[in-house]
Amino acid sequence: MPSLSLRINLDPEGRIGPGKVELLEQIAARGSIAAAGRSMGMSYRRAWELVEELNGVFGKAVVARQTGGRHGGGATLTPLGFALVARFRAVERAAAQAAEVHLAALQSEVDLPADN
């Protein structure tokens, strides 16, 4: 079955898509930018660059870092970060629902036997 992948263009320089949203979800789940990046097969540097890109697009933090201490540092989503994930997933669900009949029709075309 075909699937839909959504990217939202926020301004000429900013975009958010499934990868950045998954990164935010992983940060929320793991409490760390480094652990989130590792779970997705990316370096800490790349994960941090994506977080900084989102911070720049929105003009405020989507992730709050906690500096190290006895148990090390960590990270959590800010209220904006949680809202961003929730809104993206809501738009994604609405788009998938709206496209469902069209995707099924496309799949039926793929499944037809080829004319010789």
Q: pTM to 2 decimals? A: 0.85
Exposed e or buried b per residue across 34-50, where buried means at least 16 C-beta atoms within 10 angstroms of its C-beta: bbbbebeebeeeebbeb
Residue 116 lies in a domain: no
| Structure confidence at residue 73 (pLDDT) | 75
Residue 75 belongs to a domain? yes
For residue 69, give the DSSP letter: -
Tens of pLDDT along 3-50? 888 999 987 778 999 999 999 999 999 999 999 999 999 999 999 999
Is position 4 within any domain?
Answer: no
91 lies in a domain?
yes
CB proximity list for 51: less than 8 A, separation 6 or greater: 23, 27, 33, 62, 63
Phi-psi region of 59 (alpha: psi -120 to 50; beta: other; left: phi over 0): left
Give me the pLDDT at residue 4, please: 86
In this structure, is residue 3 part of a structural domain? no
Range of the domain at 86: 13-111
CATH of the domain at 74: 1.10.10.10
Kindly tell me if the per-residue pLDDT of 114 is higher than 70: no
Question: Per-residue pLDDT averaged across 46-62, rounded?
Answer: 94
Burial label, 103 (beta-carbon count in 10 A; 0-12, 13-18, 19+): middle
Contact between 1 and 105 under an 8 Å Cβ cutoff? The reply is: no
Per-residue pLDDT at 113 exceeds 70: no
pLDDT of residue 70: 63
Q: What is the pLDDT of residues 72-104, one digit of tens each?
A: 679 999 999 999 999 999 999 999 999 999 988
